[in-house]
Structures are given as structure tokens and as C-alpha cells.
Amino acid sequence: MIDIKYLREHPEEVKENIKKKFQDEKLPLVDEVIELDKERRDAQKEADELKASRNTLSKQIGALMKEGKKEEAEEVKKQVAANAEKLAELDAKQAEMEEKVTKIMMVIPNIIDPSVPIGKDDSQNVEVQRFGEPVVPDFEIPYHTDIMEKLKGIDLDSARRVAGNGFYYLMGDIARLHSAVISYARDFMIDRGFTYCVPPFMIRSNVVTGVMSFAEMDAMMYKIEGEDLYLIGTSEHSMIGKFIDQIVPEEELPYTLTSYSPCFRKEKGAHGLEERGVYRIHQFEKQEMIVVCKPEESPMWFDKLWQNTVDLFRSMDIPVRTLECCSGDLADLKVKSVDVEAWSPRQKKYFEVGSCSNLGDAQARRLKIRVDGKDGKYLAHTLNNTVVAPPRMLIAFLENNLREDGSVAIPEVLRPYMGGKTEIRP
């Protein structure tokens, strides 16, 4: 959510930003919110004048009563009562205008970074850099669930009977590999100076609306019936929510946290949930990283965050690339975003395994996360990035470490988490 003052002073820049995001239907909202904001401020000004008048009139009443001028005092009291009624009307109008302004501001997209490529959708995202050499082996790479099934590592049929499509049972060494990757990712981030955290797996609605757009919320979040609670779609939401309504000392910044959580997603409108794969599912686990920092430091942290994910995958010999998200592919709160994609030897292309985002002060403004600096209070910047998200990451792992005989090599960095195993065999 952008600053209402910025919108008032730079309406054409806000409109141009909306055009860059190919959301022209939102252009009228800029003028609408300016008019509503003017009404709100006019009501506030009139209310402030009435409050000042009330203080003056109260003193007059006291003076008239001392002088024995009761009739004149009663007339002034009537004026005070009339002013009180008017003040109540103005307070109600202010609240109504404030609600309308906030509702509109929540859907006007954040100002994107000048470096973001302009494009309508993800087909126009731009490759930035490749890390590692993509390899296609001489033998055929089976579909990832076929690999898992030969290793007795997955049971989708039972999961469908128990929970429906979009769920899975991971079994044996594949389940162990899943946990090993999560544990390795945790320690990898701790070694890079991040504080480990296990957050709440449910959050209240005010946190949900603070960390994401309404469209994302509708497409992702599972609501707990009868309670003001939602299952988290990613621990980033809970982690940023940790700082809601907080004024943090500037000298404590940056906060660098890495968190584990299960994640639950409706995947509303998603295709492929009926397939036997585990690329897009309703439930998975993830290691995440978030940063809360000073505004001038957020570009530096953005580059550090995506590099962490690249380094993690390269430590397991998985080729990856970074992809700059274009303007039309950015969620409304994001200033800038880079996807990390892993190489798929079977498909002979890259696919997304993580996403790094700089939200600027948008989440901080919604959640009221402020910094107490030497020159006064200001809004923090927030960033997030996926460290690793099995089982999607397992697809890349299995395809890139599969041998012709059907066994899977275990990279050296994962062996301590796999009881010393060097391979998984059918």
C-alpha cells in the first residue's frame, strides 16, 4: 500500500505505475481516492474547529455562571449541544471516508522499482543469470512420481482417499530426504547469520490483509470456520506479522530470520491438481527467510536473499537460473521480485523453486511496523525469499541426481542428515 500523501502529490506517477502493471481498470480509483480523501480532511478540519470552539464556549459558560448570567449561559449551552451533534456527524463521516479510502488504497498497486522490466505477464519475465551447467543425460528421465514410486517413496492413491487431490504420503527414504533438505536448509541459513524461528501456523485476518493483496488472499488462504484465523500459505506471513504494531529501535535493525513451517494453499484456479505430480499441491513444508531493515538497505538485502537460494541449490549440484519478474507478473504489494528456477533434465527447461521479493514499506504501512530512528520514526522495509520448498524442490533433486540404474545419488552436504547414506536405491 502506497502513502496517501504520495498519491495526493503525485497522482500522474501513480497512474503511470498502474499502466505499467497493465491494470488500467484501476486508473479511476486514483481520482476517486483523492476526492474521498479531500472530503475526509475537510470533515477533520471542521471537527477540529468545533473542538476548539467547544473549549472556548465551555470557558464562556463558566464565566457567565460566575456573573450570574444564567439565561445567557443556557443559550451558550444550547450552542455547545448543537456543536456536539455536528461533531458526532463529522466523526462518523470521517470514519466512513477513512474506511473507503483504505479499501481503495489496498488495491492500488505499489510503486515498482525503476529496474523492473515492463511486461504483461510471466511470459515476459527476463532471465538474469544462470548458475551451473544444465545437463541432459543419455538415458530417459522418468516423471518425478515414477521415480518416487520405484523407490517406494510416495503414495498418492491413499492420500486421495484420505484428503482428495493435491495431497500425498511421502514414505521411507524419500520422506527422509524431504526432512533432510529442510534440516540442511535450516542450518545453511543459520550459518549465514539468520535467526531460526518456528512461527504460528495460523494468523488473524488483520495480519493476512497486512501482508498480501485481496486477490492473493482469496486464491490462497484457508479460513478456519467460526474463528478469526487463517492457515498460513507461507511462514513469511506469520514472520512479518510478528512485528505488527511495533516501534523497533533503529540500532536493532536489520532483523534477519529464517523460519520453518507447513504451508496450506487452496490453489484456487490452479491447473494440474488432478495430475499425479507434486508440483502444485494444497500442503507442503518450507524453509523461508525474511528481513526487516532500513529503507536504504533493502536493495542490498534483496540481492543477498536470492543469492542464498542460488548458493543452497548449487551446493547440491542443481543448476539454477534467476528470472526477473516483469511489471505485470508482480503482486500488487511488491516493488521488485526475482524467481529462482531449477533445471529439469526431463523437461529440458527450468521451473520455479523459489521467489525473492522486496515489498518496500507496503507491508510495514499496513501493519504499522515503524522504526525509532535518530531523526524520528519511519516505516521499515520488508523482504522475503524461499530458502527451499519440498516436495517441489525434490523434483529438481531427483531429476538431477538420478542414475541410469534408477538409484539416486545423495550429495555430500546432505549425507549427515541421511544417516551417512550416499545413495537411495530401488
Report yes or no on 209 lying in a domain. Answer: yes
pLDDT of 277? 82
Report yes or no on 114 lying in a domain. Answer: no
Residues 253 and 341 in one domain: yes
pLDDT of 367? 96
Looking up cell 519511519, which residue turns up? Answer: 378
Q: What is the CATH number of the domain that holds 368?
A: 3.30.930.10
Residues 43 and 189 in one domain: no
Which helix H or strand E contains 220, and what residues bound it? helix 214-220
Segment 153-195, tens digit of pLDDT: 999 999 999 999 889 999 999 999 999 999 999 999 999 999 9
Residues 126, 323: contact at Cβ < 8 Å? yes
User: Percent of the chain having pLDDT more than 90?
Assistant: 79
Residues 209 and 333 in one domain: yes
Report yes or no on 110 lying in a domain. Answer: no
Report yes or no on 67 lying in a domain. Answer: yes
Residues 93 and 126 in one domain: no
Residues 252 and 312 in one domain: yes
The domain of 54 spans: 4-105
pLDDT of 181? 97
Segment 237-262, tens digit of pLDDT: 999 999 999 999 999 999 999 999 99
Report yes or no on 186 lying in a domain. Answer: yes
pTM: 0.89
pLDDT of 305? 98
pLDDT of 338? 98
**291 class by beta-carbon count within 10 Å (0-12 exposed, 13-18 middle, 19+ buried):** buried
Residues 263, 230: contact at Cβ < 8 Å? no
**208 class by beta-carbon count within 10 Å (0-12 exposed, 13-18 middle, 19+ buried):** buried
User: What is the DSSP secondary structure assignment for residue 111, as one 8-state letter?
Assistant: P
User: What is the DSSP secondary structure assignment for residue 402, as one 8-state letter?
Assistant: B
- Residues of the chain short of pLDDT 50, as ranges, are 274
User: In angstroms, rounded to a whole number, what is the distance separating the alpha carbons of residues 144 and 396?
Assistant: 9
Residues 85 and 182 in one domain: no
pLDDT of 148? 96
pLDDT of 276? 62
Q: What DSSP assignment string belongs to 33-92?
A: HHHHHHHHHHHHHHHHHHHHHHHHHHHHHHHHHHTT-HHHHHHHHHHHHHHHHHHHHHHH
Residues 133 and 44 in one domain: no
Q: Give the number of other Cβ atoms within 10 Å of residue 426's Cβ.
A: 11
Residues 278 and 356 in one domain: yes
Report yes or no on 232 lying in a domain. Answer: yes
State the average pLDDT for the chain: 92
Boundary residue ending a domain (105, 132, 161): 105
User: In angstroms, rounded to a whole number, what is the distance separating the alpha carbons of residues 115 and 165?
Assistant: 40
Residues 246 and 170 in one domain: yes
CA 217 to chain centre: 10
Q: What is the CATH number of the domain that holds 8?
A: 1.10.287.40
pLDDT of 213? 76
Residues 173 and 307 in one domain: yes
What separation in angstroms does the CA of 37 have from each of 77, 98, 167, 397?
A: 33, 8, 47, 53
**351 class by beta-carbon count within 10 Å (0-12 exposed, 13-18 middle, 19+ buried):** middle
Q: Give the number of other Cβ atoms within 10 Å of residue 285's Cβ.
A: 17
Residue 375, CB-side half-sphere exposure with 13 Å CA sphere: 3
Segment 269-306, tens digit of pLDDT: 555 554 568 888 999 999 999 999 999 999 999 999 99
Report yes or no on 113 lying in a domain. Answer: no
Report yes or no on 88 lying in a domain. Answer: yes
Q: In what order do the strands lie in the sheet with 222-223?
A: 202-203, 230-231, 222-223
User: In angstroms, rounded to a whole number, what is the distance separating the alpha carbons of residues 285 and 423?
Assistant: 23
Residues 51 and 98 in one domain: yes
Residues 35 and 160 in one domain: no
Boundary residue ending a domain (53, 71, 105): 105
pLDDT of 256? 98
Boundary residue ending a domain (53, 74, 105): 105
Total domain count for the chain? 2
User: In angstroms, rounded to a whole number, what is the distance separating the alpha carbons of residues 359 and 142?
Assistant: 39
pLDDT of 54? 72
